[in-house]
Structures are given as structure tokens and as C-alpha cells.
Chain A
Amino acid sequence: EVQMLESGGGLVQPGGSLRLSCAASGFTFSSYAVSWVRQAPGKGLEWVSSISGSGAATYYADSVKGRFTISRDNSNNTLYLQMNSLRAEDTAVYYCAKFPAQWLVFDFWGQGTLVTVSS
């Protein structure tokens, strides 16, 4: 059974940093690209970032480019999102999600971790 479990969310001040983790199991982690998707309060879902199975290719939404860094540790089946220079508008539930072989849809998701940016 595929499972993805996010952690690392919390309250952080504007300008601060936070690192999210996503522990994956139930599939060959290194064979699949994975992503972060977020949902701000009262808003729809927003794709944040994706990384290839090997970690060699990374992609970011314009809203987080230069501030967020996606990475992965395939030996520990873990995905990360390093978030720097956080803004109030980054407040959201952050989900990790897996792509199937083609990067068209997200076939498995975690339950999310809440990040609140506030003074």
C-alpha cells in the first residue's frame, strides 16, 4: 500500500524558514517523480514544486522560485521542501504527491502538513 506522510509544518514568522519532509512507502521511491502541492485557507490547490526520480531535475512555481528548494533522499525514501524567506501568503496545508510513470496526474497523496506564517 502506497503511503506518504508529511511532517515539519508549524508556525513561523515572516522571513523565517521551515523544512518539510515526506516519508514515502509502498513503492520504489527512486523510480517516481514526486511533488509538493499546497492549499491556502479558503483557496484551491496550487502546484508548488516537482522533482524527478533521480533528483536531477527540479521544477518550481513562479511564486516560490528562489525561495523554496525541493530535494529527495532516495536511500531513505524521503522528500523534502526547504522553505526560506517565508511570507504570509505561503500559509497553507502542504501535500506531497506522487506521479505515476507519466507526469500528468498525482496518483497518491499524503494527508498534508499545515504551515502558518504569522508574527
Chain B
Amino acid sequence: EIVLTQSPGMLSLSPGERATLSCRASQRVSSDYLAWYQHKPGQAPRLLIYGASTRATGIPDRFSGYGSGTDFTLTITRLEPEDFAVYFCQYYGAGRSPPWTFGQGTKVEIK
């Protein structure tokens, strides 16, 4: 099983600041299969990034993703009030059990 470890667990920032979130895989993985989601309490999770760096439809360009191998990063360049949420990464491992695994999440809270 691919284990995804996200850091930090919590990030306290002010609107307008830059957020940098990390997702580390337990072994080398394909960036084609790494995604990021945003989740607000009581709402449906929202796909932000797939293929490590491609923004999903309608996602603002202040969200960007990059990485390869075992280390992946989600960056929010200028935090808007609506960006304070939990962010989690997800990996699809073909032929693995389970095929879809998730990181434990990083909460971005207002400082």
C-alpha cells in the first residue's frame, strides 16, 4: 500500500499569504496519478489538481501543484477567505491494494 503523509497537519495563515502544503509518498510514484482536493466542513470535497499539476475545471490559478517521485506540493499563492479548508492528496496505484489512497489532510486555518 502506498502511504501518503501530509505536512504540516495544520497551517495558520492570514488572507493574502502563501500556503505551501506537502504530500510525501512512502515509495516512488507516478505523478500522473497524484491529485489534490479541498474539503470544507459539511461540504462535498472538491477536486483541485490531478496529474500532480493540472488544475481541474474552474479551479483558480492561485492553486498550483508540482512534484515527482515521492514529494509533491500544493501551493496557494494568495489565500482568499474561501480557501481556508482541509486539503488532502490522493494517489491511484494500479494493481495495488487498495488502488486509491489518501493523505490524512492539512488544515489551513485563519491566523
Contact = CB atoms under 8 A, between A and B. Distances in A.
Categorize the interface residue count of chain B: 20 to 34
B88 interface: yes
Nearest to B42: A111
A15 B42 CA distance: 28
Contacts, number: 58
Contacts of A101: none
Interface in A56-111: 59, 61-62, 95, 97, 103-111
Contacts of A109: 44-46
B22 to A, nearest CB: 15
Given A43-B104, A104-B33, A111 B44 contact: yes
A11 interface: no
Categorize the interface residue count of chain A: 20 to 34
Given A105-B92, A107-B56, A61 B98 contact: yes
A47 interface: yes
A44 B105 contact: yes
Interface in A2-49: 4, 35, 37, 43-47
A65 B32 CA distance: 28
Given A45-B102, A47-B101, A62-B97, A104 B50 contact: yes
Given A47-B99, A107-B56, A108-B44, 10 more contacts: A44-B88, A44-B102, A45-B88, A45-B102, A59-B99, A61-B98, A103-B92, A104-B35, A105-B50, A106-B90
A109 B99 CA distance: 18
B43 interface: yes
B47 interface: yes
Contacts of A45: 45, 88, 90, 102, 105
